[in-house]
Amino acid sequence: MFTGIVNGIATIVSIKKKIKSYRYTVELPSNLSKNLNLGDSISHNGCCLTVQSINGTYIICDVVEETLKRTNLGILDIGDNINIERSVKYGDEIGGHIVSGHIMNTAEICKILKSGNTCTIWLKIKNVSLMKYIFYKGFICIDGISLTVGDVVKNEFCVHIIPHTFLSTTIKNKKNGSLMNIEIDFYTQTIVDTTERLINKNIKCIL
């Protein structure tokens, strides 16, 4: 489990591509490699991966075919930076919102409105059917960052980025057309799906 509060930025130093999986070697900031153990979960751009190997500040994680298709991890190159978050431990502060690390889809950046070290980013999610879960002021996790939906217009939505988030994540490097990993708030999804089932059940009873 994660919170969507990015701990730091890591760099991809090696990618070994197999037929149905990639093996990534990532260099972590030194503070994030402390007390890290084999088998630990660590978020890469919001995607939960398992640590397979540790060598100082370098870790190796495998990414399977389904994850490569569903996330932006499959289009990353050596030298690219990614947002990193260590998994939450009992007693840790939940500064963002509860995040599973299971990416649902990607969204493309349509427009970036910058003002100093702040910006508003408009995105269009690839699977439009997921828009029913995105609400004004609702939670959403984008590339591992816990954010609040600023507005929703038809099939697009925006988020507002404060200076700290802009400077301490990979957001500052994004541009129009960039693909971002999206995890929709689990509780919002559950409420929407449950409501839909109840409405459909009542309609069938009436008919």
pLDDT tens column, 37-82: 999 999 999 999 999 999 999 999 999 999 999 999 999 999 999 9
Name which CATH class applies to 105-193: mainly beta
CATH architecture of the region 8-86: Beta Barrel (2.40)
Per-residue pLDDT tens digits for 92-140:
777 888 899 999 999 999 999 988 888 999 999 999 999 999 999 999 9
Residues 159, 112: contact at Cβ < 8 Å?
no
Check residue 94 and give its pLDDT: 77
**pLDDT at residue 204 greater than cutoff 80:** no
Q: Where are the domains of the chain?
A: 8-86, 105-193
Domains 8-86 and 105-193 share a fold: yes
